[in-house]
Amino acid sequence: MSTKHEPKDSSLSKTSTVLDVVQFTDSHILGDPHARFLGVDTFLTLQQVVKQSLLRDSLPSCYLLTGDLSQDETEESYRRLEEVVRSLKTSVHYIPGNHDSRQFMQTALNLTNISDQFFSHFVLENWLLIMMDSLVEHEVYGRLENAQLEMLSKVLQNHVNNHVLISLHHHVMPSGSQWLDQNGLRNTEDFWNVIDCHKQVKLVLSGHIHQQSESKRKGVYYLTSPSTCIQFARGSEKFKIDLVPPGYRWMKLYPDGLWETGVEFLPSIAAGLDMASSGY
């Protein structure tokens, strides 16, 4: 299953290099191979999603892994994650979510980042991709600290001629699910105060809510994506699992700043899924 989006006010330019970007999010890998997350072998579902993504016609320009990569914050969980992503043939970029450990992510995945926060940016063709760290230690909600917002502002000022995709774990726009929205990004106004000054920002990409969505604010599209293991029901006041299979998001980024995107799901829901669960 897939859905596509193409801005209706312009035609896509397909004469130059097109970037193919794949996002995996909320894999919730456990360090113990016998452990399960809400009844699901999340290591297996990530393997299956990665395998399906490799069937695409074109090799991705990069992969974005946007948080909650681990469920138990153990070093072993990241080593197991690395086993899966080892099969990917191009660059992989990581940011933490509320279930992640910055320390073990760095050591197990051999990452180097700025101080105690993950912030990175890189240019591919006409696009600037920015990865931001919204993790607040020991909390479910997210926040972008002043140091990150200052870095974001500086990077955007230095790349006025690039189209921009920003990724962070926590969702910025309301999802319509009360229990999720109380744990989204807490300082959205601070974030908007920066990006509203930079018209080259096209897309903001998140995970966290285990479902796909698309919103628009002041010309910027906000996308959330399905988990590689389980999905949460839409519009639910309280925690509720949805009967939707594991999935991932793909994006095509065009040289003129236009883009298209879709989500792909496995053929069936994850084996062992505990639909009666009231939380995690």
What DSSP string describes 103-134?
A: HHHHHHHT---STTS-EEEEEETTEEEEEE--
Per the structure, how many domains does the chain have?
1
3, part of any domain: no
270, part of any domain: no
pLDDT, mean of each 10-residue run, the chain (280 residues): 48 67 98 97 98 90 97 96 90 95 90 68 96 95 96 97 98 95 97 97 98 96 98 93 97 96 96 87
- pLDDT value of position 275: 87
261, part of any domain: yes
- pLDDT value of position 109: 87
Interatomic CA distance for residues 52 and 263, integer angstroms? 12
∠ at Cα 78 (72, 82), nearest 5°? 150
241, part of any domain: yes
Q: Look up the CATH number of the domain holding residue 94.
A: 3.60.21.10
Pairing outcome for strands 201-206 and 241-242: unpaired
1, part of any domain: no
- pLDDT value of position 277: 85
Q: How is the chain classified by DSSP, letter by letter?
A: -------TTS----SS--EEEEEE----B-SSTT--BTTB-HHHHHHHHHHHHTTSSS--SEEEEES--BSS--HHHHHHHHHHHTT--SEEEEE--TT--HHHHHHHHT---STTS-EEEEEETTEEEEEE--B-TT-SSB---HHHHHHHHHHHHTTTTSEEEEE-SS-SS--S-HHHHTTSBS-HHHHHHHHTT-TTEEEEEE-SSSS-EEEEETTEEEEE---SS-EEPTT-SS--EES---EEEEEEE-TTS-EEEEEEE-SSPPTT--TT----
- pLDDT value of position 191: 98
pLDDT tens digits, 152-163: 999 999 999 999
- pLDDT value of position 5: 54
272, part of any domain: no
273, part of any domain: no
Domain that holds residue 169: 19-265
47, part of any domain: yes
